[in-house]
Structure 1
Amino acid sequence: MPYLMRVELPDVPGSLGRVASAIGEAGGDIEAIEIVEKRDGYAVDDVLLEIPTGTMPDSVVSACSVLDGVSVLWINRYAAGGNLFLDLEVVEALTEDPASARDRLVDLLPIAFRVDWAARVRPGASGATVVHATDAAPESFDLPPVTAPVRLPGSDTYVECAAPLGGDVLLMGRRGGPEFLDSELARLEHLLGLAVTISGT
Structure 2
Amino acid sequence: MGKLHDSLLSGTSGRTGRIVVANVYGNEISKVRPRKRTSPPTAKQLLIQNRIKKCAAFMQSYRAYACQYFGSRSGMKSCYNLAMTNLMENFRINYTTETINPDYPSLYFSKGNLLGAVPLGLSLKSAGLLEISWQDNSAGSPERENDVAQILIAGEDNDFTFFVENAAKRSDIKYSVNLPVNFQNKPLHVWIAFRTENGEIASNSQYAGTVF
TM-score of Structure 1 vs Structure 2, range by shorter chain:
under 0.3
Please report the TM-score for the alignment, with normalisation by the length of structure 1: 0.27
Which of structures 1 and 2 has the bigger CA Rg? 2
The TM-score with structure 2 as length reference comes to: 0.26
